[in-house]
Structure 1
Amino acid sequence: MSRDGVPVRCPGCGRDHVYVPPAYPCACGAPLAPPIQRGAPPSPITHRTWTDTWVTVRCRSCDLQSQWPQPELGCSCGTVLRVPVRPVTTPSPATPPATTPLAPPAPTTAAPRAPAPPPSAPAGARARGAFRPRTIRTAHDTVTAAALYLVWLGFRELYRAEPRPASGIDLRGRGLVARVDPTTLPASPGAIECLWLHAMTAEACGVHFSLAGYTREALLRADDLWVPLFVLDLAGTPQPVNAAARELVASGP
């Protein structure tokens, strides 16, 4: 399956992106990525349910059909876009029509592989291998995915707050407090300010993760307070959406 980038334009701000769908191993071992429907416009995600965030993908090697995370792209304006996928019943140029029944999701024993980490780290930054995300199927998985990413960035001694405290601080570590929002609504400025206050009190870095993106007001407030913001897709791969987040990815904690 082609791994070429697909041009995607955000309908909210008009920014152009190149989206490369992540590939995960099929049950047969072959790499498999959702076939992006070229030319179809993306749609902003304003409401998210667990049932409509999966797509059917067919493996060309073994012809198995299974469920995979719906491809999503986080724009720097804060909008989370749903990238259209070609229906499995639509023949592709080199693929015959599907004749096998829909199969349930294949069990996976290893975490999905993600693209290589951002290459812009300065010479003094800690060398990192490829980030291995955790597929998100539940709200608990959302916090786990964020924790794995923070460890990959270089934070240590992380622990999860269970049950979730009223402060909304889900993860703490050495020099770190993090909030993970698994809801279907964009994060608000109040959530950013609350995180910033806890970070100031703890003399730590405050990092925010969201599944549904951020309101414009939240983006502006985060820029004022220099709070790193990340958007999580259902594959469990965070994407930085502001300058503070990009700097954290580049230089580490």
Structure 2
Amino acid sequence: MESVPVRCPACRRDHAYSTPVYPCPCGAPTTPPVLRGAPVVPITHRTWNDDWVTVRCRGCGRLDQWPQPELCCPCGTVLRIPVRPVTTHGATGATGATGATGTTTEGTRPARPSHIPLPRTAPPPRPAFRPRPIRTARDAVTVAALYLTWLGYHDVVQPTERSPARIDLRATGLIARVDATTRPTALRDVECLWLHALTTSARSVLFSLAGYAEDAEERADGLGIPLFTTDLTGTPQPVNAPADELIGTGA
């Protein structure tokens, strides 16, 4: 897995970005070739069609669409990681795509360190989660449902009609909301979900593609609501300690 240095232009914080690895149908691992030395671009707007790059497999030469490499700085800035343009004949192997953008999030607090995962005495007795690429808002809900099932909620369903409380998924003793918008999830969303869970005696979980506002994350910490961010590869990541606890204990 290739790792490249990335500096956030907003806060000047340095990161080591590791490029994701995707399985080509031929079986060879494929990674978007990051353009070293090129400046990263803060993302302020995106569309679903612009979140993908074309990558050529080094093994068989096949061209496939994969999520645009991206990184979210703890200051809240979402960064697009440039990749090399795809070549016409692939003589040198892997490629990237042109003019794409990306977004994912990890809404951590700008003035404080990220949450510290709680120690776990043993790994959970479950296989590794298998992500599914996200191209639409519906895909984001599907990934959240698969992730909750992986955590041990085996009766996860999507309501046929979305309630005023904006509940996207339900299971026994659990409700979840999936925020697939391009703005960080707000404090009001956290509190509304918590109040609805309180009235139904259920646990609440939040998934977001664009991360969380600082006050929303603080409130979720106080209420014990697990927060997850999901990137376009379909891999949920814990944002706070309640999310770490949920991963450690499962349903």
* 1:133-148 matches, cutoff 5 A: 133-148=131-146
Aligned residue in 1 for 2:27: 29
The answer (yes or no) to whether the contact 1:212–1:231 under 8 Å persists in 2 is yes
- Residue 57 (structure 2) aligned to one of 48, 56, 59: 59
Pair 126,246 (structure 1): closer, same or farther in 2 beyond 3 Å: closer
Partners of 2:217 and 2:157 lie apart in 1 by 27
User: Is 2:231 aligned against 1:230?
Assistant: no
Partners of 2:8 and 2:227 lie apart in 1 by 19
* 1:118-133 matches, cutoff 5 A: 122-123=120-121, 126-133=124-131
Partners of 1:6 and 1:205 lie apart in 2 by 39
* 1:6-17 matches, cutoff 5 A: 6-12=4-10, 15-17=13-15
The answer (yes or no) to whether the contact 1:206–1:228 under 8 Å persists in 2 is yes
Partners of 2:119 and 2:149 lie apart in 1 by 16
The answer (yes or no) to whether the contact 1:76–1:241 under 8 Å persists in 2 is no
Aligned residue in 1 for 2:48: 50
The one-letter code sitting in structure 2 at the alignment partner of 1:95 is: T
1:148 CA displacement:
0.8
**CA deviation profile, 1:199-220 (whole Å, cap 9, x unmatched):** 2222222111111222233223
The answer (yes or no) to whether the contact 1:79–1:214 under 8 Å persists in 2 is no
User: What secondary structure, in the 3-state scheme, does the structure 2 residue paired with 1:159 have?
Assistant: coil
Partners of 2:42 and 2:219 lie apart in 1 by 22
1:72 CA displacement:
2.6
The one-letter code sitting in structure 2 at the alignment partner of 1:128 is: R
The answer (yes or no) to whether the contact 2:118–2:245 under 8 Å persists in 1 is no
1:14 CA displacement:
5.1
Pair 204,184 (structure 1): closer, same or farther in 2 beyond 3 Å: same
User: What secondary structure, in the 3-state scheme, does the structure 1 residue paired with 2:5 have?
Assistant: strand
Q: Give the CA RMSD over aligned residues.
A: 2.9
User: What secondary structure, in the 3-state scheme, does the structure 1 residue paired with 2:25 have?
Assistant: coil
Pair 90,37 (structure 1): closer, same or farther in 2 beyond 3 Å: farther
Aligned residue in 1 for 2:159: 161
Structure 1-normalised TM-score? Answer: 0.78
- Residue 204 (structure 1) aligned to one of 194, 202, 205: 202
Partners of 2:158 and 2:164 lie apart in 1 by 14
* 1:81-120 matches, cutoff 5 A: 81-89=79-87, 95=92
**CA deviation profile, 1:93-126 (whole Å, cap 9, x unmatched):** x81698xxx9xxxxxxxxxxxxxxxx97723663
The answer (yes or no) to whether the contact 1:9–1:15 under 8 Å persists in 2 is yes
The answer (yes or no) to whether the contact 1:77–1:241 under 8 Å persists in 2 is no
Partners of 1:123 and 1:13 lie apart in 2 by 36
Partners of 1:251 and 1:167 lie apart in 2 by 27
User: What secondary structure, in the 3-state scheme, does the structure 1 residue paired with 2:176 have?
Assistant: strand
Percent identity for Structure 1 against Structure 2: 60
Pair 123,169 (structure 1): closer, same or farther in 2 beyond 3 Å: same
Partners of 1:51 and 1:73 lie apart in 2 by 18
Structure 1, unaligned runs of 5 or more: 103-118
Aligned residue in 1 for 2:188: 190
